[in-house]
Amino acid sequence: MFDDSFLGKPLVYCGTCGVMPATINGEPSHTKKVQNGDYIVMSGGRIGKDGIHGATFSSEELSEASPTSAVQIGDPITQKRMTDFLLIARDEGLYNSITDDGAGGLSSSVGEMAEDTNGCVIDLEKAPLKYHGLDPWEILLSEAQERMTLAVPPDKIDRFLELSRKMGVLSTVLGTFTDTGKFHALYRGRTVAYLDMDFLHNGYPRMNLKATWERRIYDETPPEEPKDYEAALLAVLGRWNVCSKQYVVRQYDHEVQAGSVMKPLTGKNNDGPSDAGVVRPDLSSLQGIVVSHGICPKYSKYDAYHMAACAIDEAVRNNIAAGGSLDRMALLDNFCWCDPVASERNPDGEYKLAQLVRTNMALYDYTVRFGTPLISGKDSMKNDYVNGDTRISIPPTLLVSAISRTNDVRKAVTMDFKEEGDLIVVLGKTYAEMAGSEYFSELGLNGNIPPKVDGEQALKTYRALEKAIRAGIVRSAHDMSDGGLAVALSESAFAGDLGAEVDLALVPQAGIFRDDYLLFSESQSRFVLSLKEANLERFRKLFKSVSYAVIGKVTRMPRLTVRGIYGRTVLEAELSRLKKAWLAPFQRLFD
């Protein structure tokens, strides 16, 4: 996503998911319980000065004085070796609990695990270091991704350490979990930390903050209708939030372990943007997982409630479009926010906090409506850059990730048009919701009506589409998001190397009397589908309670032809010209 407000502090989101056995040695594999007397063992890489205060650094204002030492120096080889070792140790039942040494390092991992037994004693002198010269507090706080803290029972410590040595992984006993009620850290025989466990976990007083919500009103002078619709579409296709990202995507390997079914790029020439990824983790099974995302920070300007609702809806509809299932879907929220605490330096903090509150209200409303639980999440709350009198705050940003299961990866549906003569269907209703749209942004306009999510109607749409995909009726499915209908049609045509002829008068809509609004509105819960004409009646039976319409056909000629609401052809453009504009922004950077 691109926005000038990210210039002060660019965001990078990373995530991962894995597969684990449901039970290990007859016990549920997800249970973790430290026992009094278990050894505190650190496995993996050594401790260095890198990564100190990494967690606080990620949630502080960025300035010229920000320390580079907060950035971890990764060691993927050590991490891989450690991972292989821990999987075998897990299957042998050699440890009771495990936590990574990420945010806060040993202070957090040991402190969190010690809550199970209500105490611990740890000798920091025993911790393996990258080099001499670290103070005790640095050893305790340094963060890394290739280190883990484990609780190992005394009767299994010898086998644990033996396996660790055999697999070339450094494992060190640092102390013991106790029931003393104290977090006790030693260094060279001297106590350097002695904290009451209740104080450690409950002692920090809750902040009482004030949030003030106000609806901000912007100029809503409507633009003149385009005299040249091709030029308007070319401009939107060339925007950073719409254009092809293949030049970045292709730098990453998405074939590791050979399980990727639907890749980031798809279509005849593997250059169409997939709505989701489909992965087959067990190659002996046809079951797969569908992973998708939704992120819409541009709507925060108008109402963070609708921003969050749109992010959830986008993640869910992308997942459904690829063949995911609502009954097997879970979500993850990832907050990156501007400072929500009011102060002299942050005079609009109350408004930013209100935006945070409204975002959480939407998370509750729509996860309950869709029946999609939030199973994990993360936050970073101080994404501001300050340099003298200059302050740049990111827009309130929420990334929602969705994961679901499909029982047959062969039924995954891609977004590219498949064959000349296939019917083009618009699924969902379009409204004059232009605020924050790429079209209005290109024209330098704001508006006041951002997209809203009708949860009840969206749920009906997704249920019906899921059934249609499972029945093999849908040949292509592509969600409408940035750039609206015009961009979704263009991308499906690009990916299929085919054309399209459509009639806007047939598009399900409410209160739209302009062709440009119908083409570029970013109303939610909508799709562009294609299907064989022979399957139309089966399709109709499944979508009786959902807004949809057949608006045209896929053509052999690589051209996009659009007839307007009032019967006039408003757009007739060669796909080669449109695609050139769509490819151009990153092409200029990489060529």
Please report the DSSP string for 68-113 in residue order: GGGS----HHHHHHHHHHHHHHHHTT--SEEEES-TTHHHHHHHHH
Contact indicator for 175, 122 with CB cutoff of 8 Å: yes
Instruction: Report pLDDT for 256.
Output: 84
What are the extents of the domains in the chain? 31-202, 229-590
Do 31-202 and 229-590 share a fold?
Answer: yes
Q: Which of 523, 485, 464, 512 is closest to 309 using CA atoms?
A: 523
* Matching CATH number, 31-202, of 3.40.91.10, 2.40.40.20, 3.40.50.280, 3.90.650.10: 3.90.650.10
Instruction: Report pLDDT for 49.
Output: 87
Instruction: Report pLDDT for 103.
Output: 86
| Span 128-145, pLDDT tens digits | 999 999 999 999 999 987
Give 294: exposed, middle or buried? Use CB within 10 Å, 0-12, 13-18, 19+.
buried
| Span 333-363, pLDDT tens digits | 999 999 999 998 899 999 999 999 999 999 9
Instruction: Report pLDDT for 462.
Output: 98
Parts of the chain with a pLDDT under 50: none
229-590: what CATH class?
A: alpha beta
Q: Which of 432, 440, 446 is closest to 303 using CA atoms?
A: 446
Global pTM reads: 0.93
